[in-house]
């Protein structure tokens, strides 16, 4: 019986004690890959990740390692980076801590994969890209929404020509985040403190950059208005604090090819739509509305013909004229899909375009959105050179 060739990939996972790091990256991606027997490259060849958990709190790390079934953890990042058994560094820390840690990993010769924003400024994010390029290490940034089922269906519709000429894109993202009194908040308090790297513009415009660039056309300019709607919240210890970062953003984007996109992002909105995030695409031949998992379409021939008359009840039920796109293929966790692509890139040098340059573009759009808000004007988004 022939043996299976196993490519072991040691992964230093820094900052995964947080909600997103634990759930999406450790449990639903890396541990899920291990539990499925690795990433199958061929009938007798697999990639097997081997995680090493890193963080500042030893009790949290020990508890998480035990829960996940991981053998190794440490509070000493330098020691982890010096270990040749671990080729990949992953960072899911708060944004303010990411630049220095990723830079240290690159200089230590590690391949790097990190959450977005990839750094606290465009200059820092672009520097990380240049450093990784010079060091010859492989690098990637999490751009998970590209693999959500609803948006993959949207991409399929575009590729098949369903929309005709795409005219406009409208997005609604967000939900009501409680202020902590009396109902506990469901997001960390640092999100609402500018001095700690908080703010919805830096958080969400990084997402909208890769989404718009990949699905519809490169972002050329932005007009953005931010707002801090809720001024005071309670932190994790139950203490009141002043909110210094914006909790809502209303942004319009001009895309290459003349498409106009507008996306509202808010942690102060009550949901009355199909999902926490919906994206409507209108084209000359049809329209689609995608949520996180599902997508509905209305082709030209099935489009009703409304007539404006506010004095009577509408004779049209506008929800009836939409068709649900079926699941043509099985869909896995979006984070896991990108992790598998990155690990294949590391081991087999397969293509992986979602790199630190793409991460820098996301930070750039967020900074341009903040600049637009400050100037109360449209701001051009210049091209970052590869």
Query: Residues 60-108: pLDDT tens digits?
Result: 999 999 999 999 999 999 999 999 999 999 999 999 999 999 999 999 9
Dihedral sign (CA 205, 206, 208, 213): positive
127 is a domain residue: yes
- Clarify whether residues 17 and 111 are in a common domain: yes
Residue 339 lies in a domain: yes
Residue at 64 is within a domain: yes
Do 183 and 241 lie in a common domain?
yes
Q: Are residues 278 and 158 in the same domain?
A: yes
Number of domains in the chain: 2
Cα separation, 288 vs 280, whole angstroms: 6
16 domain residue, yes or no: yes
Q: Give the 3-state secondary structure of 48-81.
A: EEEEEEECCCHHHHHHHHHHHCCCEEECCHHHHH
The ranges of the chain with pLDDT < 70 are 1-2
Same domain? 349 vs 368: no
Together in a domain, 10 and 52:
yes
CATH number at residue 15: 3.40.50.720
Give the length of the chain.
Answer: 386
Q: Indicate whether 86 and 124 sit together in one domain.
A: yes
Entry pTM:
0.95
Q: 324: helix, coil or strand?
A: strand
Statement to judge: residues 197 and 101 lie in one domain: no
Whether residue 9 is found in the same domain as residue 93:
yes
What tokens appear for 230 in the block? 């809720």
3-class state of residue 241 by DSSP = strand
Burial class (CB in 10 A: 0-12, 13-18, 19+), 80: buried
Domain of residue 281: give its range. 145-331+363-380
Q: By C-alpha distance, which of 256, 168, 155, 285 is closest to 211?
A: 155
Q: Tell me the C-alpha distance between 174 and 247, whole Å.
A: 10
Together in a domain, 290 and 221? yes
91 CB-near residues (< 8 Å, 6+ apart): 14, 15, 98, 101, 102, 105, 112, 113, 114, 115
Same-domain pairing of 104 and 182: no
> Is there a single domain that holds both residue 241 and residue 309?
yes
386 in any annotated domain? no
Q: How far is CA 264 from CA 229, 276, 360, in A?
A: 14, 12, 22
Residue 385 lies in a domain: no
Report pLDDT for 1.
44
Whether residues 282 and 343 fall in one domain: no
Q: With respect to residue 256, please indicate whether it lies within any of the assigned structural domains.
A: yes
Exposure letters 225-250 (e unless 16+ CB within 10 A, then b): ebebebeebbeeeeeeeebebbbbbe
CB 360 within 8 A of CB 199: no
Q: What CATH number did the domain enclosing 306 receive?
A: 3.30.360.10
| 190 neighbors 18 (Cβ within 8 angstroms) | no
């Amino acid at each position: 019986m022939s043996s299976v060739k196993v490519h072991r990939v040691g992964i230093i996972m820094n900052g995964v004690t947080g909600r997103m790091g634990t759930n999406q990256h450790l449990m639903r991606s890396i541990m899920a890959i291990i539990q499925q027997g690795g990433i199958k490259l061929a009938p007798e060849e697999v990639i097997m990740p081997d995680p090493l958990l890193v963080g500042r709190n030893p009790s949290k790390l020990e508890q998480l390692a035990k829960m996940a079934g991981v053998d190794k953890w440490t509070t000493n990042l330098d020691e982890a980076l010096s270990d040749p058994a671990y080729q990949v560094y992953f960072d899911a820390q708060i944004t303010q801590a990411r630049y220095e840690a990723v830079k240290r990993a690159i200089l230590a010769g590690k391949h790097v994969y990190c959450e977005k924003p990839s750094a606290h400024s465009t200059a820092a994010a672009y520097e990380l890209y240049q450093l990784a390029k010079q060091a010859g290490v492989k690098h990637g940034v999490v751009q998970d929404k590209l693999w959500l089922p609803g948006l993959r269906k949207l991409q399929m519709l575009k590729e098949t020509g369903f929309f005709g000429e795409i005219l406009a894109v409208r997005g609604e993202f967000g939900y009501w985040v409680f202020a902590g009194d009396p109902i506990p908040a469901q997001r960390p308090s640092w999100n609402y403190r500018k001095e700690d790297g908080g703010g919805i513009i830096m958080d969400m415009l990084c997402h909208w950059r890769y989404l718009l660039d990949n699905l519809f056309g490169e972002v050329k300019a932005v007009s953005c208005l931010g707002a801090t709607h809720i001024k005071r919240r309670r932190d994790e210890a139950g203490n009141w604090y002043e909110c210094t970062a914006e909790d809502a953003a209303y942004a319009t984007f001009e895309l290459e090819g003349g498409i106009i996109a507008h996306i509202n992002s808010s942690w102060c909105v009550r949901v009355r739509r199909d999902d926490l995030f919906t994206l409507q695409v209108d084209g000359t031949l049809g329209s689609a509305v995608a949520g996180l998992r599902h997508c509905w379409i209305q082709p030209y021939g099935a489009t009703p013909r409304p007539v404006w008359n506010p004095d009577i009840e509408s004779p049209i039920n506008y929800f009836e004229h939409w068709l649900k796109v079926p699941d043509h293929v099985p869909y896995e966790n979006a984070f896991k899909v990108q992790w598998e692509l990155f690990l294949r890139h590391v081991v087999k040098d397969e293509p992986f375009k979602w790199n630190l340059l793409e991460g820098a573009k996301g930070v750039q759009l967020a900074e341009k959105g903040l600049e637009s808000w400050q100037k109360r004007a449209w701001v051009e988004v210049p091209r970052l050179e590869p």
